[in-house]
C-alpha cells in the first residue's frame, strides 16, 4: 500500500494533468491504471485501492488548500485549485521574495543581488 | 544595589547602541566568522539580560540589599500581601517594565518560532507535491524552475535541500557539489536556530535599529561559515564560480522562454532591490571579495581575547545580579 503522501502526489499529478474536475471513483480507476502500467506487483496493490482512501487523500488535499470540490453535483467532483506552474511560482515567490520572515524560514545559497553586482560577477566569470 | 542597577543600565545601553554599530562596521568578522558569531550572540544575550536586570534591581532597591533578597521580599508582597509601602511609583514602574519586557521577549521568541514553523510546514507540503527527488543524495529535491536557485529548508529529520532545474543546468558537477556542501553546512551547523533567535530579537525590538544590524550580520556570517565548509572539499575557484553563476543568473530578469507564472516570480525578484535589500546584497559581495582576496584568520591570541570578552559579557550581568546575594 502506497503511503498517503505518495497518493497525494499521484492524485495531484492526475488533477493537474487532467485540467477538469473528477470524481473520487474516476480518480481511483486512473490511479489503479497508472500503478498497473508501472509493473505487475504494484498493479495488484493498485486494484486494492479503496474509494474511501482516495476520499481521505482528497480531503487532506482540500484542507491544505490544493483541491476544491464542486458542491452542486453528487458524487462530488474534485479539481485542483491552481495549476502546477502557479504553485511552483508561489513557492519560488516565497523563496526569492523579500518577506521579512523569509530569511529565517529558509537559507538561500545566494541572497538578493542588485543588477550592478550581478554585472560585476558576470565580468568576473568572463575573466576566469 | 543602586550602583549595580546603574552599571547594568550603562551596559545595556552600550550593548544596544554603540557596540553593535562598531561591530557591524568592523572588517575582522569576515576573517573569523565563527568568533564574530559568538560575539553577536553574547552581545544580544548580555544586552537583554542587563536591560531587564537594571530595571529589576532598581525596582527592588528599597526592599532588599541584593536581587535575591529583593525578589524574596517581592514574593512576600505578591503572595502573602506584605505591605508594599516601601516601593515608590518609579520602583513599581521599573518592576512592571522588567516583567513586561521579559514576557515580551519570551512571547516574541515563541511566536516567531510558531510562524517560521508554519511557513516551513506549508513549504514542505508543496515541495512534497511539486519537487522530485534528486540523484544527489537523500534530502535533496529538484524543482521545475528556470532561475538558478538553491536553498535549504531546515526541519530536523525532514530537512530538505532544494535545487532548481535552472541551477542544475547552469553548474558543473564540482560547482553543484560546492553548493550542496554549502547548504548542508547550514543544516549540520544548525544555523536556523541563530536565524530564529535574531529574527525574534529584531521582531521584539523593531525600534532598536541595531537589532536589524545584528540580524543582517548573522545572515552574512552563516553564509561565510557555510562557504568555509565547502572550501574544505572544493576549490576556491569552483566556489567563486558557483556563487557568481547563481548570483548573476538570479538577478537577470526571467528569460523569454519562461512560461507566464514564472515571469510572475521574476517580477517579484525586482522587489528586494527596491525595498532596500542593501544588507542582503552586500552579503554576496563580501562573500566573493573574501574568497577573492583572502586575509589571514585572526591570530590565536586575538581570537581567544574576543572569546574571553564574550564570556565576560555573559558573566558580568549574571554575576552582578546573583553574587551579592550569595556573599551577603
Whole-Å CA distances, B244 to A51, A109, B241: 51, 11, 5
Instruction: Name residues of chain B where pLDDT drops below 70.
Output: 1, 251-282, 328
pLDDT tens per residue, range A62-76: 999 999 988 787 888
pLDDT of residue B268: 31
* Cβ neighbours of residue B141 closer than 8 Å, sequence gap 6 or more: B127, B131, B132, B133, B134, B160, B161, B162, B163
Measured between CA atoms, the residue of chain A closest to residue B143 is: A88
CA distances from B284 to A28, A110, B228, B267 (A): 49, 7, 14, 21
Could you tell me how many CB contacts below 8 A there are between chain A and chain B? 170
Q: How confident is the model at residue B167, as a pLDDT?
A: 94
Is there a contact between B219 and A111 if contact means CB atoms under 8 Å apart?
yes
Other CB atoms within a 10 A radius of the CB of residue B79 amount to 8
Is the Cβ of A4 closer than 8 Å to some Cβ of chain B?
no
Across the interface, whether the CB atoms of B251 and A5 are under 8 A apart is answered: no
pLDDT for res A1: 53
**Burial letters for B137-161: b for 16+ Cβ neighbours within 10 Å, e otherwise?**
eebbbbbebbbbbbbbbbbeeebbb
What is the residue-wise DSSP string for B28-43? GGGT-HHHHHHHHHHH
Distance (Å, whole) CA B273 – CA B265? 14
Structural contact between residues A14 and A35, judged by C-beta atoms closer than 8 angstroms: no
In the three-class reduction of DSSP (H, G, I as helix; E, B as strand; rest coil), residue B250 is classed as helix
B240 and A5: CB-CB below 8 Å?
no
* B42 vs A47, more confident: B42
Q: What is d(CA A53, CA A24) in angstroms, rounded to the nearest whole number?
A: 9
Give the pTM: 0.87
**B288: nearest CA partner in chain A:** A121
- Rounded CA-CA distance B4/B55 in Å is 10
**How much is the pLDDT for B65?**
78
Distance from the Cα of B23 to chain A's closest Cα (Å) equals 21
Q: A8–B128: do the CB atoms touch at under 8 Å?
A: yes
Inter-chain CB proximity B261 and A113 less than 8 Å: no
ipTM: 0.87
A96 at interface of B, judged by CB pairs closer than 8 A: yes
Burial classification of residue B308, based on how many CB atoms lie within 10 Å of its CB (0-12 exposed, 13-18 middle, 19 or more buried): exposed
Contacts from A39-46 at CB under 8 Å and sequence distance 24+? A45/A1, A45/A2
Q: What is the mean pLDDT of chain A?
A: 83
Which of B182, B248, B284 has the CB atom closest to A111's CB atom? B284
With a CB cutoff of 8 Å and minimum separation 6, the contacts of A2 are A10, A35, A45
Identify the sign of the CA torsion B177, B178, B179, B183: positive
Q: Would you put residue B311 in left (φ > 0), alpha (ψ -120 to 50) or beta?
A: alpha
Among B144, B219, B252, the residue with its CB nearest the CB of A103 is: B219
Q: How far is CA A75 from CA A26, A33, A52, in A?
A: 11, 21, 13
Interface mutation target, options A62, A99, A109, A128, chain B, most CBs of B under 10 Å? A109
Q: Read off the DSSP letter of residue A109.
A: S
Amino acid at each position: 500500500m502506497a503511503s498517503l503522501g505518495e497518493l497525494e502526489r499521484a492524485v495531484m499529478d492526475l488533477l493537474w494533468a487532467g485540467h477538469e474536475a473528477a470524481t473520487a471513483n474516476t480518480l481511483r480507476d486512473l490511479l489503479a491504471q497508472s500503478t498497473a502500467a508501472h509493473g505487475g506487483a504494484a498493479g495488484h496493490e493498485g486494484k486494492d485501492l479503496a474509494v474511501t482512501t482516495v476520499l481521505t487523500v482528497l480531503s487532506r488535499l482540500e484542507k491544505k488548500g490544493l483541491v476544491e470540490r464542486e458542491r452542486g453535483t453528487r458524487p462530488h467532483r474534485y479539481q485542483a485549485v491552481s495549476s502546477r506552474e502557479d504553485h511552483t511560482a508561489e513557492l519560488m515567490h516565497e523563496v526569492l521574495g523579500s518577506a521579512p520572515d523569509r530569511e529565517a524560514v529558509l537559507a538561500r545559497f545566494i541572497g538578493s543581488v542588485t543588477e550592478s553586482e550581478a554585472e560585476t560577477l558576470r565580468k568576473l566569470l568572463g575573466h576566469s | 544595589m543602586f550602583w549595580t542597577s546603574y552599571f547594568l543600565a550603562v551596559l545595556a545601553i552600550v550593548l544596544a547602541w554603540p557596540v553593535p554599530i562598531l561591530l557591524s562596521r568592523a572588517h575582522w568578522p569576515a576573517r573569523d566568522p565563527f568568533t564574530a558569531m559568538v560575539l553577536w550572540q553574547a552581545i544580544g544575550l548580555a544586552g537583554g539580560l542587563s536591560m531587564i536586570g537594571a530595571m529589576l534591581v532598581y525596582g527592588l532597591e528599597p526592599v532588599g540589599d541584593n536581587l535575591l533578597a529583593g525578589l524574596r521580599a517581592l514574593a512576600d508582597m505578591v503572595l502573602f500581601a506584605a505591605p508594599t509601602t516601601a516601593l515608590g511609583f518609579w520602583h513599581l514602574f521599573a518592576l512592571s517594565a522588567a516583567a513586561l519586557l521579559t514576557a515580551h521577549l519570551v512571547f516574541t521568541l515563541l511566536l516567531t518560532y510558531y510562524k517560521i514553523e508554519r511557513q516551513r510546514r506549508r513549504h514542505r507540503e508543496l515541495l512534497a507535491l511539486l519537487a522530485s527527488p534528486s540523484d544527489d543524495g537523500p534530502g535533496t529535491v529538484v524543482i521545475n524552475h528556470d532561475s538558478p536557485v538553491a536553498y535549504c529548508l531546515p526541519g530536523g529529520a525532514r530537512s530538505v535541500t532544494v535545487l532548481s532545474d535552472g541551477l542544475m543546468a547552469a553548474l558543473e558537477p564540482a560547482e553543484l557539489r560546492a553548493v550542496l556542501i554549502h547548504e548542508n553546512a547550514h543544516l549540520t551547523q544548525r544555523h536556523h536556530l541563530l536565524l530564529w533567535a535574531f529574527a525574534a530579537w529584531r521582531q521584539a525590538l523593531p525600534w532598536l535599529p541595531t537589532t536589524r544590524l545584528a540580524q543582517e550580520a548573522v545572515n552574512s556570517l552563516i553564509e561565510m561559515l557555510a562557504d568555509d565548509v565547502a572550501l574544505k572539499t572544493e576549490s576556491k575557484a569552483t566556489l567563486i564560480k558557483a556563487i557568481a553563476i547563481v548570483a548573476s543568473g538570479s538577478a537577470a530578469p526571467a528569460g523569454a522562454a519562461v512560461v507566464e507564472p514564472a515571469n510572475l516570480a521574476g517580477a517579484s525578484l525586482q522587489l528586494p532591490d527596491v525595498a532596500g535589500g542593501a544588507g542582503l546584497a552586500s552579503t554576496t559581495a563580501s562573500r566573493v571579495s573574501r574568497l577573492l582576496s583572502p586575509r589571514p584568520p585572526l591570530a590565536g591570541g586575538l581570537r581567544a581575547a574576543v572569546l574571553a570578552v564574550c564570556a565576560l559579557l555573559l558573566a558580568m550581568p549574571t554575576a552582578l545580579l546573583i553574587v551579592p546575594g550569595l556573599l551577603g
